[in-house]
């Protein structure tokens, strides 16, 4: 058994050859074939021969007669390819007769050309497929890492919070900021304003904050009177409490939802409670101190007041806004897509959203379009119907034509 040989100017040993793939071995085998004037079929070397056969041929482990026997009984899986190559060679030979002197065509040369070109094409296709698979695998691995990312927050000396799985891109920072206020004993100043488009999960984020901190969750929507926050004394002399009042006095995460839809004059009464650490609630003889476990979160679609999509909002007083840490809460399209079983639908919605922005079309396409449409499609509703009720939503023909084009 030979373990060493030289082909061209390069020396090869068995151990090195066994590390090469079949296409690399074929190149070396064809070069050896030319140098040795071998009678072994180049077509067989180029299509049916396995890696072990090619290594044996390169090293000269077998006689020409042994290779001739191997060529006569090709592997079953190689038979269709061999027949196809023979047929192709015969067809080419016949086609070339009219263009060559005396119509002479060397069948072996045609077979050799076909085999070499087939091998080259196969190599190119394999490289392309391999590259595509690698890119898909890399993206998939990235998505898996992101979905499985684990972040641990230390809370005091004996407790920690561990976040894992899919979540909004801004959630980790929000939780870290809240814990920073807690760890320094400054919870009385822990006021956060989440600002972002509709349907981006602001309310859900506040609920999750309460869950992770082990606190009760309280919330209310837009208000038109300060008593919707502070409470009041009814006709029977009883104190009527509110979610804000309960969270302020007893602790908990309080969400003031759709705050930019509230009357600015009603929100002004909020100022003292946000900044002073104590508040005079109706029916109380003294100031009520803010609980050290009271976290206040406001949410809204605008910071500066009404715009094209949110015309029903109010510009809030600057002194009121100054009491909050402003937290941008944009659409997280990766998170949005992860929540949809139908990935084609999520991509479609996001593409329409991008078109609306590119063309300056004032039409809200929030993640709710993705989530609602995902449910409807899963239930078997027609795609066109789901597009109409979840994405277009009555948009005029001219603007819809702009954003619906591919």
Dump pLDDT digits (tens) for 134-147: 777 666 666 655 55
Residue 89, pLDDT > 70, answer no
Dist. CA 127–CA 143, nearest whole Å: 24
pLDDT confidence of residue 88: 58
Q: Which pair of structure tokens corresponds to residue 287?
A: 């100031």
Residue 121, pLDDT > 90, answer no
Residue 108, pLDDT > 80, answer no
Q: pLDDT digits over 266-301, tens only?
A: 998 888 899 888 999 998 889 999 999 999 999 999
Which stretch, 37-41, 86-90, 394-398, has highest mean pLDDT? 394-398
pLDDT confidence of residue 268: 87
Q: How many CB atoms lie within 10 A of CB 312?
A: 10
Place of tokens 């390169």: 58
Range in 74-83, 190-199, 396-405 the model is least confident about? 74-83
Give me the residue spans of the domains in the chain: 4-125, 167-330, 334-404
Residue 387, pLDDT > 90, answer yes
Confidence of residue 356 (pLDDT cuts 50, 70, 90): very high
Q: Cα–Cα–Cα angle for 181, 183, 185, nearest 5°?
A: 70
> H helices then E strands: how many in the chain?
19, 13
pLDDT confidence of residue 173: 94
Contacts 24+ apart (CB under 8 A), 178-187: 178/209, 178/213, 178/295, 179/153, 179/155, 182/155, 183/155, 183/156, 185/292, 187/290, 187/291, 187/292, 187/293, 187/294, 187/295
User: Who has greater pLDDT, 149 or 287?
Assistant: 287
pLDDT confidence of residue 55: 87
Which CATH entry fits the domain spanning 167-330: 3.40.1280.10, 3.40.190.10, 3.10.310.30, 3.40.50.300? 3.40.50.300
If you average pLDDT over every residue of the chain, what do you get? 84
Range in 72-81, 88-97, 121-130, 189-198 the model is least confident about? 72-81
Nearest to 203 by CA among 143, 263, 238, 253: 253
Confidence of residue 389 (pLDDT cuts 50, 70, 90): very high
Question: What Rg, from alpha-carbon coordinates, does the chain have?
Answer: 36
Confidence of residue 27 (pLDDT cuts 50, 70, 90): confident
């Amino acid at each position: 058994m030979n373990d060493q040989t030289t082909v061209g100017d390069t020396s090869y040993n068995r151990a090195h050859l066994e590390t090469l793939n079949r296409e690399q071995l074929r190149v070396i085998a064809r070069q050896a074939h030319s140098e040795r004037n071998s009678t072994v079929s180049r077509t067989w070397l180029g299509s049916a021969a396995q890696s072990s056969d090619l290594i044996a041929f390169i090293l000269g482990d077998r006689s020409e007669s042994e290779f001739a026997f191997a060529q006569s009984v090709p592997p079953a899986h190689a038979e269709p390819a061999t027949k196809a190559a023979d047929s192709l060679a015969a067809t080419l030979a016949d086609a070339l007769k009219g263009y060559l002197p005396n119509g002479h065509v060397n069948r072996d040369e045609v077979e050799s050309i076909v085999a070499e070109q087939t091998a080259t094409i196969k190599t190119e296709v394999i490289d392309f497929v391999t590259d595509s698979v690698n890119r898909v695998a890399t993206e998939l691995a990235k998505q898996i890492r992101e979905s499985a990312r684990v972040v641990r927050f230390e809370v005091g000396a004996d407790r920690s919070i561990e976040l894992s799985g899919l979540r909004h891109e801004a959630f980790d920072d929000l939780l870290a900021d809240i814990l920073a206020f807690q760890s320094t004993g400054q919870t009385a100043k822990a006021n956060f304003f989440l600002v972002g488009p509709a349907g981006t999960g602001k309310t859900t984020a506040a609920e999750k904050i309460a869950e992770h901190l082990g606190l009760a969750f309280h919330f209310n929507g837009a208000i038109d009177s300060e008593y919707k926050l502070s409470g009041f004394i009814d006709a029977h002399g009883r104190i009527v409490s509110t979610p804000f009042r309960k969270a302020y006095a007893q602790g908990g995460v309080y969400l003031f939802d759709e705050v930019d839809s509230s009357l600015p004059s009603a929100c002004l009464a909020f100022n003292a409670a946000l900044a002073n650490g104590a508040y005079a609630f109706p029916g109380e003889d003294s100031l009520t101190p803010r609980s050290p476990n009271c976290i206040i979160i406001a949410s809204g679609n605008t910071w500066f007041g009404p715009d094209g999509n949110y015309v029903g909002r109010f510009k809030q007083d600057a002194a009121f806004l100054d009491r909050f840490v402003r937290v941008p809460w944009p659409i997280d399209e990766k998170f949005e897509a992860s929540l949809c079983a139908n990935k084609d639908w999520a991509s479609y919605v996001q593409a329409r959203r991008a078109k609306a922005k590119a063309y300056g079309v004032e039409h809200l396409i929030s993640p709710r379009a993705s989530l609602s449409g995902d449910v409807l499609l899963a239930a078997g509703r027609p795609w066109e119907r789901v597009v109409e009720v979840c994405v277009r939503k009555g948009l005029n023909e001219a603007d819809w034509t702009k954003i619906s084009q591919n």
